[in-house]
Amino acid sequence: MKNPITALSDLFSKLVIEHGSAVIQEKHIALFKDELAILKDKFAILAAENQQLKTENQNLKTENTQLKKKIQIYEKPTHDNLLDENKIKLLIFLSKQKDRLTADDIAQALNINPQVVTFHLEELEKYNMVHGGQYTGTPSDWKLVQEGRRYLIENKLIS
C-alpha cells in the first residue's frame, strides 16, 4: 500500500493537471467559438459579394449580347460570298451605263423579271452598292455607286 501522503500527493497532482487541462480546454473552446463567429461573418459577407458578382456578370453578359447586335447592324458587310449571280449581273450592267436606268429598263436589257430586278437592286442599295433616286411621279432611276465599283474591282469582275 502506498503511503497516504504520497497517494494524496498523486491525487492532488492529477487534479491539478486535469483542472489545468480543463481550463486550457475551455480557453481553446472559447477561442474556437470566437474564430467560428468571425468565419460565419466573413462567409455571409463573401456570399453577398458572390451574389452581387453573379448579378453583375449576368448584366454584363446581357449588355455584351446587346452591344454585339448593335455592332452587327453598323458593321460594313464583307463582300465575301455576299452576292449571287443576279446581283453581280446587275452591278456589271450598271457599271457599263452612263445614264441612270429604271428597274424595268434593266430587266428588259438583262431579260430578267422586273420584280426580281427590283428586289436585287433594293438589296444592293442596302449595301450602298447602287443608288435609286425616287422622283415624284416617275419610277426610280438606278446607278452604280462607289461600293459597287469597289466590289467589282476587288473581285476582278471589271478591270
pLDDT in tens, the chain (159 residues): 667 667 667 766 776 676 667 677 777 788 888 888 898 999 999 999 999 999 999 999 999 999 998 887 776 555 555 688 899 999 999 999 988 899 999 999 999 999 999 999 999 998 899 998 665 455 678 999 999 999 999 888 987
Which residue in this structure is represented by grid cell 449571287?
84
Scored b (16 or more CB within 10 A) or e, 2-15 reads eeeeeeeeeeeeee
115: cell is 420584280
Residue where the block lists cell 481550463: 23
| Cβ atoms of residues 105 and 138 within 8 Å | no
Q: For the CA atoms of 48, 50, 52, 55, what is the dihedral angle to 10 degrees?
A: -140
CB 111 within 8 A of CB 151: no
Which uninterrupted H or E stretch holds 122? helix 114-126
pTM over 0.85: no
Other CB atoms within 10 A of residue 90 CB: 27
